[in-house]
Amino acid sequence: MRTDRRGVLGAVLAFSGPGLARRAAAQPEWAPERPLRWIVPAPPGGGFDLIARLLAKGLAPRLGQPIVMDNRPGAGTGIGAEAVARAAPDGLTFGSADNGTLVYNPVLYRRLAYDPEKDFRVIGTTARFHLVLAVRAGSEIGSAAALVARTRAAAEPMQYGSPGAGLPHHLAMERLARETGAKLTPVHYRGLAPMMTDMLAGTIEVAVIDLFAGREHFSSSRFRPLAVCSEARLPQLPEVPTVAEALGLAGFEAHAWQALVLPRATPDAPVARLRAELLAVLQDADVAGKMRDQGLDPLPGGEAAFTARLAREKAVWVPLIRSLGITLD
């Protein structure tokens, strides 16, 4: 289903208040006159890239221009984030940012080449990855409660796999350990692929894995899910309890999520147009279905929803990172 572009824009402007609506009525709707650039702070082929390409495919015809992908991996999304912050504020360059870019990195890095509060305007949130507490096939650990009990009784902390220090998977496990008293220590890898390879080989027994990366291993029973870190059970894993259900941790929730941002000085007109079009694409049934097929959730929402999400995330993860003393530079 296609939503009329001008109708969506009108609804966004009306929701934003009469002041913005009057300003928009006084000037023509912004339309890009040359190709747009989407900066992806990760290499091609992963979840960041998939979300960007899927959404760009829907956005390009609505904006009347092609969208060129510019992959800028490195420094925990910092290289791509800096490129967005330093781009011309004309609405033609925007980029993906995740909770690492916007919440974790200012605490993890003493020197950061961008300031998420001063350098960006948000177009909107885009998607989230569900995180799953899991063990390898053949593990004797049958539940999340059994995992906690086993580690509490052990003389030494149990090792778990982490795709990298300061990533959502690592921090979700550290939060779980902090709130349950489980004795766990991370083994950090350079990404999910080598971590899952070692898990399949039996080198490590337990990890937090995102559903996007691990869905084939879950469906083939090579990994056994113990609990999901989402606020509700997942359609893809309906028999698996949430962490809140399994361990009695009311309000426990952890995701990897993404947003679309552009340079802070970008004028209102391109921001409003891009925000309206992104919302329309995320609400398209075909796009949403393709995301869910990959284990992702579309996450439509404008500036207010983003601001509320950011405040919730900072309240949980910033104190945790500081208490763990994690630094990455």
pLDDT digits (tens, 9 = 90+) for 34-47: 999 999 999 998 89
Tokens of 114: 């961008």
Do 206 and 134 form a contact (C-beta atoms < 8 A)? yes
Amino acid in the structure at residue 21: A
What phi and psi, each to the nearest 5 degrees, are found at residue 124? 170, 170
% of the chain surpassing 70 pLDDT: 91
Tokens of 99: 């909770």
pLDDT of residue 23: 44
pLDDT of residue 5: 44
pLDDT of residue 24: 41
| DSSP SS3 for 155 | coil
Residue 55: pLDDT above 70?
yes
Mean per-residue pLDDT over the chain, rounded: 92
Tokens of 313: 């995330």
pLDDT digits (tens, 9 = 90+) for 226-235: 999 999 999 9
pLDDT of residue 12: 43
Domain spans of the chain, in order of start? 5-128+256-324, 130-247
pLDDT greater at residue 1 or residue 32:
32
> Which pairing describes strands 36-40 and 93-98: parallel, antiparallel, or unpaired?
parallel
pLDDT of residue 26: 43
% of the chain surpassing 90 pLDDT: 88
Q: Which fold has domain 130-247?
A: D-Maltodextrin-Binding Protein; domain 2 (3.40.190)
> What mean pLDDT is predicted for residues 176-201?
96
Q: How far is the C-alpha of 131 from the C-alpha of 210, rounded, in Å?
A: 4
Residue 13: pLDDT above 90?
no
pLDDT greater at residue 288 or residue 28:
288
Helix (H) or strand (E) holding 39: strand 36-40
pTM: 0.88
pLDDT of residue 302: 84
Residue 8: pLDDT above 80?
no
pLDDT tier at 255, thresholds 50, 70, 90: very high
pLDDT digits (tens, 9 = 90+) for 190-212: 999 999 999 999 999 999 999 99
Do 12 and 275 form a contact (C-beta atoms < 8 A)? yes
Q: How far is the C-alpha of 74 from the C-alpha of 78, rounded, in Å?
A: 7
> How many Å is the maximal CA-CA distance in the chain?
70
pLDDT digits (tens, 9 = 90+) for 288-312: 999 999 999 999 988 889 999 999 9
Helix (H) or strand (E) holding 54: helix 47-63
CATH of 5-128+256-324, one of 3.20.20.70, 3.50.50.60, 3.40.190.150, 3.30.300.30: 3.40.190.150
Angle between helices 5-16 and 18-25 (to 10 degrees): 140
Domain 5-128+256-324 and domain 130-247 have a common topology: yes
Q: Mean pLDDT check: name the lowest of 16-25, 115-124, 172-181, 236-245.
A: 16-25
pLDDT tier at 160, thresholds 50, 70, 90: very high
Do 100 and 168 form a contact (C-beta atoms < 8 A)? yes
pLDDT digits (tens, 9 = 90+) for 128-159: 999 999 999 999 999 999 999 999 999 999 99
Residue 325: pLDDT above 90?
yes
Cα angle 221, 294, 226 (rounded to 5 degrees) comes to 35
pLDDT of residue 201: 95
Cβ neighbours of residue 113 closer than 8 Å, sequence gap 6 or more: 75, 78, 81, 82, 85
21: number of Cβ within 10 Å: 16
Residue 32: pLDDT above 60?
yes
